A = this chain, B = another copy of it.
Amino acid sequence: MPGLIECVPNFSEGRRLEVIEEIVRAIGQIDGVSVLDHSSDSTHNRSVVTFAGAAEPVVRAATAGVGRALELIDMEEHQGAHPRIGAVDVIPFVPLGGTTLEECVDLARRFGELIAQRFELPVYLYGAAALRPERTRLADIRRGQYEAIRDEIGTVPERFPDFGPHRTHPRGGAVAVGARKPLIAFNINLATDDVAIARRIATTIRESSGGMPAVQAMGVLLERPGGRDLAQVSMNLVDWERTGIAAVVREVRRMARDAGTDIDHCELIGLAPTGALLEVAADTLGLRDFTADQALELRLARDR
């Protein structure tokens, strides 16, 4: 599977499903890309599309998605709970298989320049692709959202885009283009409905409060109609090669037991890199010298 790249554009439309279908179709009709998933949220009025392929088809498909979104979504009319800066709010490129993050950084910058020119759309580079350190975090780019950027992009130097015109696109606003490692959305449900325990564990393990590297976590109550509610440690593992699933589970189990409870079960939301799951198997079995190459289909996919 040489040079595979995942792309996860977020679009500012989560209610008009026919619009989402049109955008997904524009992406999926490009030869050489697979649309892996798409989901829409009406509260956030936002949709996420996940697709993958080699670099060139992925660029063509992302370009097609941007083009269609700029035709179909008008930021002057968009409202939703999730912060956003444009019709296509954010486009991250993610390395899969043998692809490196650096390749995705290069691709994001090349793609950013391309769509800025093609669509006269201001582009901010973020994440590993950021050209300015203050644009690494999406939240910093999004401050004040679409409306603030529209009003300030022509006059406030901090708002000047990395590529494209110093004015927002008349319908589409602006876009953040970046590169990041694959993210694993992973929840651990505790055998208790005491959400305070989940919150305490989340606070202890998350990187932002000095916990485990590359872990984002919060404690929530998982309501289960007809069953007992469960306290949940809800996590994003943003770099599983630094902190993987097995390490997080071990730590959460230890703290849960200290608090007089235990792990009930875990949940994997959406897709995860196969390597992150194989690591759990290798850890459980105490396999030494295990490599993902011992997984037959992965090995084959790599060779093809």
Contact = CB atoms under 8 A, between A and B. Distances in A.
A303 B285 CA distance: 30
A265 interface: yes
A2 interface: no
A290 B303 contact: no
The binding surface of chain A is classed by DSSP as mixed
Given A294-B271, A294-B272, A295-B277, A1 B285 contact: no
B266 A285 contact: yes
Given A273-B296, A277-B281, A295-B277, A1 B286 contact: no
Interface residues of A, number: 43
Contact of A267 (B267, B287, B300): B287
Contacts of A301: 1, 297, 300-301
A297 B263 CA distance: 28
Contact of A300 (B34, B282, B284): B34
B297 A273 contact: yes
Contacts of A182: 296
Given A294-B271, A296-B273, A264 B278 contact: no
